[in-house]
């Protein structure tokens, strides 16, 4: 038996935060040595951070990356380890991995397949490396091999698939296997999305089976650059069997997941596979050989590690709670903010935001310990006895009433504040609303009324609440959270510079229907190890309402728009699946046959009209977290013109189609 300990390391990096990034890498090195690991895979672009964006076009960034690489290599003694960084070569920039062996650089492997869809824009900064091409690059007066390489390190052959390389049909791993690869390392920067872990698990285990290798996958961790959240996925598989999967959504700066593998067993498994065809052409110019003495290891029986929260039936609710919590806490610390402020309306959206902030501190304290968390937040000199006191110190909620506010929402806001342990304030802004209304009425010489001036009178209330919330945030050097959700974003059902005010919009990537189900789950079940919040019942039993019209009008969100299940359904078909109004109508009439066809047609008209009218709002929303492939963020996912024809022709086609059915649409 040839027993070797391999590990996947996850790192919480930050673009161009050189000291932090190096410290995390060196911490992973130390952890690996403490666990007698020989081969360590660290994530993609871990030296610079993945999200440097156009910073990758800066010569200074490349120079600094090489400086820090040299200091990292010097600390890699007793290890075979990889880190990622951009490299300039032959006039292009390449996304590369540096393999280092016991304090020496063995060579560089550039990424062959670039991620250029969704939130990824790698082709803007990098060039794809062509298969089979090799060269040399001079760094610090020394020439190193670069290209499509295989490494023979102490008689163990190591190849690479870098993130997207494993997501394509023509995976580089197949060629590495034919050249006798024993281990394939996959350093990745794969953003979180619901259900994505299972996709990764599939190509890791299938890659290990098809290539008959040990496959080591490591991903970034945390809110690296503001929008994308990385779950810190780490997996090791051999011959189609997942040996270990590390915990996801950790609040650690760095962590490793280790497992012992038997290289001889892997080799014999490949040798006895009838479909395996070794490459025996004798040309081994692409194989870089270096000596390395692997420590002798006794056979151990490692156990598969799976977090308890990943084994339940509420996985999407759990993922949402933990992903958002990790994203919020990272954003807080990396932005230098000293807390959060939320305008708590007594409704579902602001309640969800408050719950997520509370969860962030609870989950982090449970993992790191209260003292370590306080130190991370710069509060080590303050006396904070428990996590509830920490939340009260870091989260301020404020309920701002006007004459149209009800006791129901005031009481609900107070209940939620108590449930999440926030510092809660109540302000009456009705006087300011009346003053604005009076000033404008007198200037224009008209008497504003609800019949003729409905939208302006609604919007001034939402906008009047923003200055107070901003002032409280400024006084505490805190981060004001906007609470708009994706359903509202799709149709612009939000007041610009009112309820959209904030520096971060954590809910903008999730639909209203999911949020309401999640809040019921938080009321009754809650994340694994965290108590539910029964006070949410006062929110969950309400019909969502903006509460901006006089109470006697009985305003509700769905009355203003349409049922949220219909809105979200239309949005997915029209925006995610790019269907035209007629196609959307045909799906609606099948799946929602309880509604009259003219009503379905009217809702489709409303959706497309509001979608086109409100693109400018989506362009101005605060940064949001990317949670799935239904995001509407025009900066990273869903691009649409601010000015357009408004689907006029397509909606006329819909009307003609409905008329042809013998129904007046």
Confidence of residue 311 (pLDDT cuts 50, 70, 90): confident
The answer to whether domain 312-558 has CATH 3.40.47.10 is no
> CA 93 to CA 110: how far, in whole Å?
10
The pLDDT of residue 545:
74
Tracing tokens 């690489």 back to the chain, one arrives at 69
pLDDT at 299 over 90: no
The 8-class DSSP code of residue 561 comes to S
The pLDDT of residue 507:
96
| Cβ atoms 427, 400 nearer than 8 A | yes
Q: Per-residue pLDDT averaged across 411-420, rounded?
A: 97
Question: CA 347: distance to chain centroid?
Answer: 25
Report the CATH fold assignment for 562-665: Arc Repressor Mutant, subunit A (1.10.10)
> CA 288 to CA 150: how far, in whole Å?
6
Strand extents, DSSP E, 148-210: 150-153, 157-160, 183-187
Q: Indicate the SS3 state at residue 87.
A: strand
**Neighbouring residues of 257: CB distance < 8 A, sequence distance ≥ 6:** 7, 8, 9, 10, 234, 235, 236, 244, 245, 246, 305
End-to-end CA distance of the chain, in Å?
75
Question: CA 232: distance to chain centroid?
Answer: 11
pTM for the model: 0.94
**Neighbouring residues of 596: CB distance < 8 A, sequence distance ≥ 6:** none
The pLDDT of residue 279:
74
Residues of the chain with CATH 3.60.110.10: 3-306
Q: Indicate the SS3 state at residue 245.
A: strand
> CA 15 to CA 234: how far, in whole Å?
21
**525-559, pLDDT tens digit by residue?**
999 999 999 999 999 998 877 667 787 777 887 88
Q: Which pair of structure tokens corresponds to residue 547?
A: 């509460």
| Cβ atoms 355, 418 nearer than 8 A | no
Q: Per-residue pLDDT averaged across 208-229, rounded?
A: 96
Question: CA 45: distance to chain centroid?
Answer: 17
Confidence of residue 304 (pLDDT cuts 50, 70, 90): low
| Cβ atoms 290, 332 nearer than 8 A | no
Tracing tokens 């091999």 back to the chain, one arrives at 145
pLDDT > 70: what percent of the chain? 98
> CA 126 to CA 44: how far, in whole Å?
13
Confidence of residue 630 (pLDDT cuts 50, 70, 90): confident
Sign of the dihedral through C-alpha 646, 650, 656, 660: negative
How far apart, in Å, are the Cα atoms of 317 and each of 367, 427, 475? Answer: 19, 33, 34
Mean pLDDT of the chain: 94
The 8-class DSSP code of residue 524 comes to H
Residues of the chain with CATH 1.10.10: 562-665
**422-453, pLDDT tens digit by residue?**
999 999 999 999 999 999 999 999 999 989 99
**145-194, pLDDT tens digit by residue?**
999 999 999 999 999 999 999 999 999 999 999 999 999 999 999 999 99
The 8-class DSSP code of residue 576 comes to I
Sign of the dihedral through C-alpha 293, 298, 303, 304: positive
pLDDT at 281 over 80: no
Q: Per-residue pLDDT averaged across 73-93, rounded?
A: 97
Question: CA 193: distance to chain centroid?
Answer: 6
The pLDDT of residue 306:
67
What H or E segment, with its residue span, contains residue 205?
Answer: helix 196-211
pLDDT > 90: what percent of the chain? 87
Q: How many CB atoms lie within 10 A of CB 126?
A: 22
Report the CATH fold assignment for 3-306: Nitrilase/N-carbamoyl-D-aminoacid amidohydrolase (3.60.110)
> CA 43 to CA 30: how far, in whole Å?
16
Residues of the chain with CATH 3.40.50.620: 312-558
**636-665, pLDDT tens digit by residue?**
899 999 999 999 999 999 999 999 998 654
| Cβ atoms 51, 39 nearer than 8 A | no
- Cα-flanking dihedrals φ and ψ of residue 80, to 5°? -110, 110
Q: Which pair of structure tokens corresponds to residue 296?
A: 């002798």
- Cα-flanking dihedrals φ and ψ of residue 262, to 5°? -110, 105
What's the burial of 283, exposed, middle or buried (CB within 10 Å: 0-12/13-18/19+)?
Answer: exposed
């Amino acid at each position: 038996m040839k027993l070797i300990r391999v590990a996947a390391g996850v790192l919480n990096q930050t673009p161009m935060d050189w000291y932090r990034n190096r410290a995390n890498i060196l911490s992973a090195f130390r952890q690996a040595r403490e666990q007698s690991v020989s081969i360590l895979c660290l994530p993609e672009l871990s030296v610079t951070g993945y999200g440097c964006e156009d910073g990758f076009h800066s010569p200074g960034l490349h120079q600094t990356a090489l400086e820090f690489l040299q200091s990292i290599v010097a600390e890699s003694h007793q290890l075979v380890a990889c880190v990622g960084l951009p490299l300039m070569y032959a006039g292009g920039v390449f996304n590369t991995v540096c393999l280092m062996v016991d304090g020496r650089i063995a060579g560089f492997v550039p990424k062959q397949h670039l991620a250029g869809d969704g939130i990824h824009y790698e082709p803007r900064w990098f060039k794809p490396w062509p298969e089979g091409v090799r060269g040399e690059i001079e760094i610090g007066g020394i020439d190193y091999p670069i290209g499509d390489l295989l490494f023979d390190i102490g008689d163990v052959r190591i190849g690479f698939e870098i993130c997207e390389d494993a997501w394509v049909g023509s995976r580089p791993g197949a060629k590495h296997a034919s050249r006798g690869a024993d281990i394939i390392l996959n350093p990745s920067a794969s953003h979180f999305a619901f259900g994505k872990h299972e996709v990764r698990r599939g190509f890791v285990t299938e890659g290990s089976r098809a290539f008959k290798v040990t496959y080591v996958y490591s991903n970034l961790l945390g809110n690296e650059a503001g929008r994308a959240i990385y779950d810190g996925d780490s997996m090791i598989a051999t011959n189609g069997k997942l040996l270990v999967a590390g915990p996801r959504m950790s609040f650690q700066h760095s962590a490793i997941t280790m497992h012992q593998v038997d290289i001889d067993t892997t080799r014999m498994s490949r040798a006895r596979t009838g479909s395996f065809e070794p490459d025996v052409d004798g040309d081994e110019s692409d194989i870089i050989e270096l000596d390395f003495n692997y420590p002798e290891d006794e056979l151990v029986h490692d156990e598969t590690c799976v977090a308890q929260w990943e084994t339940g039936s509420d996985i999407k609710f759990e993922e949402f709670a933990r992903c958002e919590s990790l994203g919020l806490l990272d954003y807080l610390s990396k932005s230098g903010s000293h807390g959060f402020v939320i305008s708590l309306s007594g409704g579902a959206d602001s309640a969800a935001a408050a719950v997520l902030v509370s969860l962030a501190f609870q989950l982090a304290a449970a993992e790191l310990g209260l003292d370590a968390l306080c130190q991370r937040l710069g509060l080590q000199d303050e006396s904070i006895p428990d996590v509830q006191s920490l939340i009260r110190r870091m989260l301020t909620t404020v309920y701002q009433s006007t004459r149209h506010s009800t006791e129901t929402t005031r009481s609900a806001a107070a209940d939620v504040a108590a449930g999440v342990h926030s510092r809660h304030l109540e302000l009456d802004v009705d006087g300011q609303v009346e003053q604005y209304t009076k000033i404008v009425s007198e200037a224009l010489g008209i008497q504003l009324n609800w019949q003729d001036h409905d939208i302006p009178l609604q919007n001034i209330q939402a906008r009047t609440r923003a200055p107070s919330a901003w002032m409280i945030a400024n006084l505490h050097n805190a981060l004001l959270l906007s609470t708009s959700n994706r359903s509202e974003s799709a149709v612009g059902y939000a007041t610009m510079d009112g309820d959209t005010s904030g520096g971060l919009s954590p809910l903008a990537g999730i639909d209203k229907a999911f949020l309401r189900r999640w809040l019921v789950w938080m009321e009754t079940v809650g994340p694994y190890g965290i108590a539910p919040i029964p006070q949410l019942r006062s929110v969950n039993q309400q019909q969502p309402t903006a509460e901006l019209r006089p109470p006697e009008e009985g305003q509700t969100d769905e009355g203003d728009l349409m049922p949220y299940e219909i809105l979200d359904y239309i949005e997915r078909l029209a925006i995610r699946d790019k269907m035209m109004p007629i196609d959307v109508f045909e799906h609606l009439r099948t799946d929602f046959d309880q509604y009259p066809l003219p009503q379905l047609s009217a809702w489709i008209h409303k959706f497309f009209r509001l979608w086109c009218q409100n693109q400018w709002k989506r362009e101005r929303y605060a940064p949001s977290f990317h949670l799935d492939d239904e995001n509407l963020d025009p900066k990273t996912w869903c691009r649409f013109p601010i000015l357009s024809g408004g689907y006029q022709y397509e909606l006329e086609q819909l009307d003609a189609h409905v008329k042809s059915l013998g129904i007046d649409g």
